[in-house]
Every structure is written in C-alpha cells, then in structure tokens.
Amino acid sequence: MDLQEKIDNITKGTLEVITSEELKTVLTDEKESIAYIGYEPSGKIHLGHAITVLKMITLQKMGFHIKILLADYHAFLNGKGKLEDIRETAKYNIKCFKALGLDENKTEFVLGSKYQTQPEYTDLVYQLATMTTLIRARRSMAVIARDSEDQKVAEVIYPLMQVADMVFLDADLAMGGMEQRKIHMLARENLPRLGKNAPICLHTPLLHGTDGSDKMSSSKGNFIAIDDEPDVIKKKIKKSFCPAGQIEGNPIIEIAEHFIYPFNEIMIINRPEKFGSDLKLNETELKELYSNGELHPMDLKNAVTKYLIEFFEPVREYMK
C-alpha cells in the first residue's frame, strides 16, 4: 500500500486531520508511531464509541501502535462515580474494545491513575495551568459543563490533564470526536511552548443520539450498545428519531454511513411488492431516495436493524 492509499484509508469518514503534511511525515518515519485516544469508563460502549474504535483499528492496520487511555480520574472529576466502580467499568470497556477487533498484541490499555499521580505529570499540569487562561480552559470543557451555572474546578483541570496525557503516552497522533477539538488545539498551542511535541489531531463525526439529540450518550439513554441483543437493537431503532426526508441529523442515516456502507457497496432494503419491492442502493442512491420521500422511514429502519444486528454478531459472541 502506497503513502496516499494509507492517508486515504486513515482520513476516510473523518472530518479533519491537523495536519495532512504532519501525517505524511509520521507515515514515512521508520519508527513505529503511536496513536492515542481516551475514554471515560462510565457506562456502556455504544455506536458513538465504535466509530472511533473502528478508526483506531484502521490506524493499527496502517502501522500505528495503539494506546487506549481508560481515563478513570477524568471520569471521577466529571462526576461519573466512585473510583472503584469506574475501574470495574474500565475492565468491561477493555473487553468491548477487543471484541470490536483491536489487535491485543498491538494495543496498550492504560489506566489513567497508573501515571497521573506521578510528580512529573502533576508538574506538567501545573505548568499548563500557568499558561492557560480561564476563558480558554472553559471553552475546552465538555459542553454540558460549559453550560452549567456552577462550574467546578475539576472541570477546568480536566482539559489540562488531557493535554498532559498526550505527553505521557508519547502520542504522535491524538484521535477523538469533534467535541475534543478545542482540547486538541490547546495541546498544539501550548505543548511546543514547553518544548514538547504536539500530536497530529484526527477528528471523527459525532453520532446523533437515537432521540435526535446532538450526541449519543450512555448517560442520556439515547444509545445502542455494541453488545445489545438483537431484540433490543430492533426496539431501539424502531423508536428512533428518523423524520421522513431528513438526512442531516438523522441517526439512522448516520448508522448506515458508518456501520453499513464502509463494509458493503450496496444495502438491500426488503419491501413487500405492493410497496415497491426490494431495493439495492449505494449510499448516494439511499440519500437521494430518502430525501425525495421515496423511501419510507420504517423501511429504512428495518434494513438498518438487519445489517446492524449482523455487524455486531461477533461482538455479542465475544462478550458471552
């Protein structure tokens, strides 16, 4: 596989890479490069997580060594429970990531608390604190924290710790959904000022919740877990937000984009003959028919349900 093919594979389905030139440099370097992503162990692993895990698998296939941060202290600071409970959830999360296909021999799973109390780490957080304005730190918070009237100090420390994580995990590339962009830009701005390398940043789209809200989240209950049983997946999709003719912000269309079409050139939509009979559609055709009102939401939901159940069958088997 040549360099451009590797870049195309890595960037397919992402929103941006910062920067493409730096990515080319890393891919042509003789040393093994490290790609990192962090997850709060705070609940079920769902489709929103799976988008980023699948991209980490692609990076792994392109030669990156993968480091997955199970950010227990981050989850604690974000009010996700007691540390002992969070760490138990981390064990479940690791099993899910392996079930999705990460190569165990080429993936490191790192618990944040294993290094985040080291003097060198806290020293770096303090240095970052002296050079980061309160306004900038607030902008980097999770949206829910920014909107709170009574913000906690922990919510300001959180993004500084994420920047420090990139250093301590030797990350050449940091990946995350677009909600991580402000923190990644904070890292790229401040780490060089401290004589540290700033990682390449790769951002994936956020998956809308099944209720149509901006983000799929286990805390909101608007998610489909990767280990949900077929009948649960069917019920959740049946109740999902899927307005007729709407493409943007439609979680069912997004599921097709991220979990069906990357692995299938066409999607077969089964319909009774009286309703037009079966359809065989590529992604462009699907969106055209749906936006024109020529494909009923329930027919789309039924097809997506079938493919999604099949896609996660290996995960369910692994998790047993």
Query: What is the pLDDT, as a whole number, of residue 144?
Result: 41
pTM of the model: 0.93
pLDDT at 147 over 60: no
pLDDT, residue 92, reads: 96
Domain that holds residue 252: 230-319
211 part of a folded domain:
no
Question: Do both 137 and 241 map to the same domain?
Answer: no
- Is residue 214 one of the residues assigned to a domain? no
Residue 149 predicted with pLDDT over 80 = no
Domain-ending residue, one of 186, 204, 222: 204
pLDDT band at 84 (very low <50, low <70, confident <90, very high): very high
Burial class (CB in 10 A: 0-12, 13-18, 19+), 85: middle
Same domain? For 13 and 98 the reply is yes
Q: Is residue 108 part of a domain?
A: yes
Q: How far apart are CA 52 and CA 37, in angstroms?
A: 8
pLDDT on residue 141: 67
Please give the DSSP secondary-structure letter assigned to residue 281: E
Domain of 245: which CATH number? 1.10.240.10
- The alpha carbon of residue 229 and the mean position of all alpha carbons in its chain are separated, in whole angstroms, by 22
pLDDT of residue 208: 97
Are residues 305 and 257 both part of a single domain? Answer: yes
Number of independent structural domains in the chain = 2
- Asked if residue 94 is part of any domain, the answer here is yes
Tell me: the pLDDT tens digits for 10-34? 999 999 999 999 999 999 998 999 9
Round to whole Å and give the CA distance between 127 and 131: 7
Q: For all residues of the chain together, what is the average pLDDT?
A: 94
Q: For position 140, what pLDDT does the model report?
A: 80
Q: How many helices (DSSP H) and strands (DSSP E) are in the chain?
A: 15, 8
Would residue 235 count as lying in a domain?
yes
First to last CA, the chain: 36
Average pLDDT over residues 242-250: 97
DSSP letter at 172 equals S
- Residue 210 inside a domain? The answer is no
Is residue 296 over pLDDT 80? yes
Do residues 104 and 204 make contact, with C-beta atoms less than 8 angstroms apart? no
One domain, residues 242 and 196: no
Residue 292 and residue 196 share a domain? no
Asked if 79 and 128 sit in the same domain, the reply is yes
Same domain, 199 and 234: no
Q: Describe the chain by its helix, strand, coil percentages, rounded to 5.
A: 55, 10, 35
Q: Model confidence over 169-211: pLDDT tens digits? A: 999 999 999 999 999 999 999 999 999 999 999 999 999 999 9
Range of lowest pLDDT (74-78, 201-205, 244-248): 74-78
Specify whether 100 is located in the same domain as 47.
yes
188 and 121, same structural domain? yes
Distance CA 242, CA 221 (A): 17
- Do the domain assignments include residue 218? no
| Same domain flag for 177 and 234 | no
Query: Is residue 33 domain-shared with residue 168, that is, in the same domain?
Result: yes
What pLDDT was estimated at residue 276? Answer: 84
CATH code at position 71: 3.40.50.620
pLDDT(237) > 70: yes
pLDDT tops 50 at residue 233:
yes
User: Do residues 179 and 145 touch, judged by C-beta distance below 8 A?
Assistant: no
Across the range 241-252, mean pLDDT stands at 97
Taking the C-alpha atoms of residue 302 and residue 6, their distance in angstroms, rounded to an integer, is 34
pLDDT tops 80 at residue 60: yes
The answer to the question of residue 247 being in a domain is yes
The pLDDT of residue 142: 58
